[in-house]
Amino acid sequence: MNFKLNMAAAVAVIAVIALFTLTTCGSSAPTSQTARSSGSTASAVPLWTGDGGRGRSIAILELGSSGLAEDQGYLPNLVQGELVSNFSGFSAMSVLDRITLEAQYAELLSGYYSDDAEASWDLGHLPNTDYLMLGNITRTGSGFALQLRVTRTADKMTEATYSQIFSFAALDTLVGIRRASLDLLEKLGVKPTATAREELTSSATRNHIGAQTALSQGIVAQRQGAEVAALTQFMQAAALNPSIPEAASRSTILATTISSGNIGEAARNDIEWRRAWIARLTETEQFFNDYFRNVTLNSVLYYVNSEIQQTSISYERETVDIRGGLYFVLRPLSDNWVPSASEALQTVYDGLRATGRASAWGLDRWPQRPITDNGLFPGRVNFERFQYSIPARTLVPSSLFNIDYEMLNSRNEVIAQGRATLSNRRVHLCFRDNRFSFFVDYVESRRNINVGAAAYSSFQRVKVDDITENLIVRITEINEQSVKDVLQNNGIIDFGSRTLQLQNLSKERLEALRGGSRNFDIFQGRLIGIDRSTMVREGEGRLTIPNSIWGEQVTSIGFGEFNLGFDLRQVTIGSNIMVERDSFPPNFAEFYEKNRRRAGTYTLTITNDDSFNHVYIWSFRP
């Protein structure tokens, strides 16, 4: 079997042979037989029998490739990363981590060693890992040929091979790689249990797939010199699956480099340093403009069985109007690209400020004053509820979901049909007070609480003779796509540019998720008040901030959310909540901060000074 290695993989072979000892293996043998970062649900049952390969080590090198399209260039890294994950999670073998591997062969390529250096003399000698895995991906007319070979470093003899043709989807969703991992583990003497075999022959979790994809795409971007793109992908990978340590390590290393303000040895003088930073800011604007054009905000639709009620009757037509059967709540999912993009942008901005030269270079007004013609903030958006104009960019426009449903009687006859139209929210990127952040625009729902993300099923002119004692309401289509099979699995509808997850809940579970109140919503930990005036009026001037809503911890309250003046006199709030200025009536944010963000009840007293100006005084009790 012939293998075509790319340059990086070839040098990696040399690096392993020359420099590694067993103690450099970044993934040591697990102390328990449970999955670690394999993208499966963590299991408490053994994943192998026997020693699981304990005491043996392996280096898995990046695969070579041929015939791949430009947008498929991340596949060799994706395969390598998933192989490392599976060998680490489903065996007791010590697996060499990629960061150490790359650092070693980067050192060899750096020119540090002379031709007669001892490290060079050792090239070609046996490595101190027991096995070396090489491979190649070749695009063919029928798919993608995946070839893998494991050799013993002691005698350079082949220990195991694997060859199979997969579709792009089978590789991209990790299914093919997991099957290859199972085959090679068994050929190396590891004995997977039935649980491990089931996990390695089934799909990984969506978060794990997304994390491995983002990680591999980040590695490719970093090699191409696109540091900002790489950082964003690494941060997204770490957020999607924190159990992959490589993602967190790469993002930390790169973020430290960028935020320090240094560009590297190339910045030998002020002119070159400025030129390098302009290049970095240009890359940032170009990358995020492309990124935001293609980004999506996925949603979840909760549906709850509700009481069926007659709302009106027509004696002439002998029909009734009916409301109920199902209650719908549409919410945006707090997708991980949101904080990852925000954090990456903030890292670049902090790095520019850390140079101490931004003003002298004429870059102190970035990002408001862009480098390119199409900057991050092409305009300003004025939000009425803030009464404040801030630089903002709409990333995800408001979109509609048409939910079609039908009513069946006990004879299984469809007696009525209806449609509910729900809209998700617009997501904006904002830059204010030297910070990047995201927020959801809820102006529309506040103007008319009936427009937006919740609705009951309803039916018009249902014939009385068709109504039986037992009636069933069910969803049939969403945006003209059938949901019959999806609903049976409580699954996900893929609309191409976005996904919609369907979840059937009990009334109790729905109220628990929404924090017991319909007056709040949340996005990325930021609490949003939907119907603020009604909420405070019904509470007689008292407002209680829930600790969590929709299963998401409340961590911050945005600008102007509950600044209701005389209507709000008492706030009960948890500890360590980030409160932006003017979130509540005057002086609350300052008092809460001075009170070390302690949880408790804060009461407002309003008096007048000698000039008859209002004085806002807050007090606290735990």
Q: What percent of the chain has pLDDT over 90?
A: 43
Distance between CA atoms of residues 485 and 482, nearest Å: 8
Q: What is the pLDDT of residues 279-331, one digit of tens each?
A: 999 999 999 988 888 777 788 899 999 999 999 999 999 999 999 999 999 88
What pLDDT was estimated at residue 452?
52
CA 164, chain centre distance (Å): 32
CB atoms within 10 A of CB 507: 12
pTM for the whole structure? 0.73
CB atoms within 10 A of CB 277: 23
Instruction: Check if the beta carbon of residue 533 is closer than 8 Å to that of residue 567.
Output: yes
What pLDDT was estimated at residue 121?
40
Q: What is the pLDDT of residues 105-155, one digit of tens each?
A: 555 555 554 555 444 444 443 347 899 999 999 999 889 999 999 999 888
- Say if residue 332 is preceded by a cis peptide, omega within 30 of 0: no
Between 486 and 508, whose confidence is greater?
A: 508
Of 25-34, 129-138, 223-232, 453-462, the least confident: 25-34
Q: What is the pLDDT of residues 242-286, one digit of tens each?
A: 888 899 999 999 999 898 877 765 556 888 899 999 999 999 999
Instruction: Check if the beta carbon of residue 124 is closer than 8 Å to that of residue 111.
Output: no
| Strand ranges in 124-269 using DSSP code E only, listed in sequence order | 131-140, 143-152, 158-166, 191-192
Q: What is the mean pLDDT of residues 466-488?
A: 86
Residues 6+ apart with CB under 8 A from 56: 93, 94, 130, 131, 188
Instruction: Check if the beta carbon of residue 108 is closer than 8 Å to that of residue 119.
Output: yes
What pLDDT was estimated at residue 579?
87
In the predicted structure, residue 489 carries a pLDDT above the cut 60? no
Residues 6+ apart with CB under 8 A from 493: 478, 481, 483, 486, 499, 500, 501, 502
What pLDDT was estimated at residue 148?
96
CA 128, chain centre distance (Å): 38
Helix spans in 224-358 (H): 227-240, 245-259, 270-294, 337-354
Crossing angle for the helix pair 175-187 and 75-89, to the nearest 10 degrees? 50
What element of type H or E holds 57?
A: strand 57-60
What pLDDT was estimated at residue 478?
92
What pLDDT was estimated at residue 51?
93
CB atoms within 10 A of CB 153: 21
Residues 6+ apart with CB under 8 A from 58: 87, 93, 94, 95, 96, 129, 130, 131, 132, 133, 150
Q: What is the pLDDT of residues 423-445, one digit of tens each?
A: 877 777 888 778 887 776 654 44
Q: What is the mean pLDDT of the chain?
A: 81
Residues 6+ apart with CB under 8 A from 621: 600, 601, 603
Query: Which band of pLDDT confidence, cut at 50, 70 and 90, is reported for residue 192?
Result: very high
Q: What is the mean pLDDT of residues 62-73?
A: 91
